[in-house]
Amino acid sequence: MQTSRPKWWQKAVFYQIYPRSFADGNGDGIGDFKGITEKLDYLAALGIDAIWLSPHFPSPNWDCGYDVSDYMDVAPEYGTIQDFKTFLSESHRRDIKVILDLVLNHTSDEHPWFLESKSSRDNLKADWYVWVDTPPNNWQSCFDGDAWTYVSDRDQYYYHYFMRQQPDLNWHNPEVKKAMWDATRFWLDLGVDGYRLDALGTIYEDPNLTPHEVPMNLAQLRRAGELAKTPEEHARIGKYWHEMFKYQWGGPGLHDLMKELRAILDEYEGDRMLVGEDDNIDYMGNGNDELHLVFNFPLMRTQRITPSHIRLNQKERLAQLGTLPFPGWPCNTLGNHDTSRVHTRYGDRKHDAALARLHAALVLTLKGTPFLYNGEEIGMTDLLITDPTKLRDTMATWYYNSLVRDLDVPPEEAALRAGEMSRDKNRTPMQWSNNPNGGFSPADVQTWLPVNPDYARGINVRDQDHNPASLLNYYKLLLKVRKKTPALVEGDYIPLNRNTKDYFAFLRKSKEQTALVILNFSEQTVELDFSRTKEIKGQNLRILFSSAERLLTSKPPRGLTVSPFEVLIAEVQPAK
């Protein structure tokens, strides 16, 4: 149980905005700050408390904004610094916090720092990136093959973990730190509430530059993964992925770097926070000197969300956090701009609507800070783009070319594979209405990625707003219940059943309240027996929320009947 009052970032529900696709305020087919600001009332009504904004900085968009060419400005297509300030103050006016995306590992190859660095071997920034005379090993970039790229002006190679347009910074150079910390302060000075740290694990590499021993390159490994059939083959490929990159991750120095960064945040008033794109709880330091949160990614690393998976995940995750000498706070999510959308990925094509409600309830009732991804609240689905010329995610374009050129895969199949692995499918424009272009942009405008045509089949905000039974209204209600139920925010997690396949039931218990959550993942009606559950036995259950029709209160239960796919939240109260 938390001993001190929870901080805002422990109570908040975060909502990730992918700025290119959220709201197009000026009708040019690309999202922008004017659009986001206009939608703040929508977000306030939805009931979220904080926004994580994916990169909004100038960028040539080789990696959709994660290749930053100026850390202290706004991409012109998104607006101006003034537009950003308006967005920030309007968010704060509605009690919505804002954290930004901090990309430390690399810059764009069009960043002035890199342009200077690559121009000669003796310029002032010559040592700001990782330069070598000849590739010292067989390291791969996780996006586009060889990790070492040649530059003729220096007759040298630079290192990049991601695209070759994303050169890794040399974080051993104090000038790099200084420049990046200046940029970090720039937005903190403007009042942002913290940062999500992009790809922190890749900042430092193995100092010995040890080669990997996987008998394949990146494209071959990806392809082998697609062709793997048996569980053994899949396991072998999984092991290869780990082995291929293990020397390029988590090198010495990261904890000290995180401490420096944390010290900067702590100079500011108002509990500015850091959440790392990593699941390693070691980056939470001693509870006060590194990151506030890291994601529970293992929860989403599965094909299906099942009660046994969740149970095991919670057991392991909370046990890990429990080994920390401070109360480490969990952070749960099921989707983001890098993964297939929750609705598609964890649906079964038969009960998708019901499953979406269970998944939302899961993230919003488990112990920890929840992160939602824009569009999941209306059940947006993946859009498979099978024309390779329409892909914007360049790692997918690279893979398409490798398949056709190097691996002799027929173009039709390559296009399908590229579409499947591309992250474009889960980054399409937000669907605001059933107007053409899903109401994202005017009808005659070509949006930066195609709008998913399912906007015309009810997957849009306006239609769902008007329908009390919609997923959107379900999210709103659930968010309200969460806010009004302290146990769901602060309470400890107590699993109730240890091995049922069909449903997942647990308590959240805070000092002042106990809440019972039941998620029935099956088509069956389930009878629950509480006669041996000490926290519930002989008590009343006051129903706070149900996705099925229910009476509002129930007698002191010996048992409880839960409908197929029902989400049930109740308060456990002393029997009168």
Question: Which are the catalytic amino acids?
Answer: 198, 277
Taking the complex as a whole, the smallest distance from the CB of residue 14 to ligand GLC amounts, in Å, to 15
Minimal distance, residue 409 CB to ligand GLC, in Å: 24
Min dist. Cβ of residue 93 to ligand GLC (A): 29
* DSSP per residue, 376-408: GGGT--------GGG---HHHHHHHHHHHHTS-
- Binding status of residue 503 toward ligand GLC by CB under 6 A: no
Residue 279 in the binding site for ligand GLC (CB under 6 A): no
Check if the beta carbon of residue 308 is closer than 8 Å to that of residue 498.
no
Say whether residue 66 binds ligand GLC (CB under 6 A): yes
CB 462 within 8 A of CB 503: no
Q: Report the alpha-carbon distance of residue 378 to residue 544 in Å, rounded.
A: 22
Distance, CA of 81 to CA of 5 (rounded, Å):
35
Q: Which residue is nearest to ligand GLC (CB)?
A: 66
Q: How far is residue 296's CA from residue 483's CA, in Å, rounded to a whole number?
A: 22
Q: How far is the CB of 463 from ligand GLC (least distance, A)?
A: 30
Question: Beta-carbon neighbour count of residue 561 at 10 Å?
Answer: 12
C-alpha angle with apex 198: 169 to 106, nearest 5 degrees?
A: 15
Q: Which two tokens stand for residue 208?
A: 């010995």
Here the tokens at position 286 are 């001693």
Q: What is the token pair recorded at 211?
A: 């080669």
CB of 340 to ligand GLC, least distance (A): 14
| Residue 164 or 337 having the CB closest to ligand GLC | 337
Site membership for ligand GLC, residue 424 (CB under 6 A) = no
- Which two structure tokens, joined as six digits, stand for 378? 């209306």
* Positions 321 through 360 that interact with ligand GLC (CB under 6 A): 337-338
Task: By CB under 6 A, name the one of 103, 188, 300, 409 that touches ligand GLC.
Answer: 103
Residue 171 within binding range of ligand GLC, rule CB under 6 A: no
Structure tokens given for 264:
């900067």
Instruction: Quote the least distance from Cβ 164 to ligand GLC, whole Å.
Output: 13
Asked if 90 contacts 43 with a C-beta cutoff of 8 angstroms, the reply is no
Q: Which is nearer to ligand GLC, 109 or 277 (CB)?
A: 277
Q: Interface with ligand GLC includes 109 (CB under 6 A)?
A: no
Q: Between 338 and 523, whose beta carbon lies closer to ligand GLC?
A: 338
Closest CB to ligand GLC among residues 273, 489: 273
176-235: contacts with ligand GLC (CB under 6 A) = 198-199
> Hey, is 102 helix, strand or coil?
strand
- CA 285 from chain center: how many Å? 22
The residue within the footprint of ligand GLC, chosen from 15, 71, 162, 432 (CB under 6 A), is: 162
Instruction: Show contacts with ligand GLC in window 248-277 (CB under 6 A).
Output: 277
Chain positions contacting ligand GLC, by CB under 6 A: 63, 66, 103, 162, 198-199, 277, 337-338
